[in-house]
Amino acid sequence: MAKNKLKRFADLEEMQRVFQPASAYADRDYHLKGKWGAEIFGNNNPIVLELGCGKGEYTVGLSRLFPNQNFIGIDRKGARIWRGAKTINEEQVMNAAFMRAQIQHLGSIFDHREISSIWITFPDPQPQKTREKSRMTAPRFLEMYRKILVSGGRVHLKTDSFPLYEYSLQCAKESGAIIHVSTSDLYATLDTDAVLDIKTTYEKRFLSEGLKICYLSISWPL
């Protein structure tokens, strides 16, 4: 397993549109902040993030559905993003990229109003009370998302964890967000489209186990 990881890390170093900052960028801005569209994608199309992207199923799936938008999958573990990065390089998917980074540094990586929407797909629910601040929909993260999103830009959450869904909904309301869609049983209550029908490895497993999928879509007033 360790040998396989080392090979994947080596592969990532050679792949196009894969970014692995050497620094955490906690105290200074990444050099591409505010320049992702122009310098990486060569256009001013909307930029969509998939946070905690894992294998990048949503990043790859969305990039295929929307060629006139740009997509960046972000995860802190290189062995995870390898699969999605390999796919976009082999298939020459030019409107997708991957980045190995910590979510808490998004404000140093992306500029104010640089992002059009955000997908959070099956994050670790961090159920322990002591881990509340690490939940990807905790107030500190929602405030960060709000700053980098365009006016009206949406945050989408898909999760199998009902407690995380409830927590996220409450935090969203307390932040003043507009709740566009909120359901604790996505496939039983909504007519899904090609976007919502994209399924990650985790979601396929959860559905095979009979679990319900929760979905939340929010934005903030202008």
**In sequence order, what are the beta bridge partners of 100?**
75
Query: Of the residues 11, 27, 111, 124, which is catalytic?
Result: 124
Respond yes or no: is residue 185 known to be catalytic: no
Rounded CA separation 171/209 (Å): 28
Rounded CA separation 7/116 (Å): 34
Question: What is the chain's Cα-based Rg?
Answer: 17
Rounded CA separation 150/222 (Å): 9
Of 47, 202, 16, 22, the C-alpha closest to 100 is 22
| Residues recorded for the chain | 222
Which residues contact residue 24 at a Cβ distance below 8 angstroms, ignoring those fewer than 6 apart? 102, 105
The residues assigned a catalytic role are 124
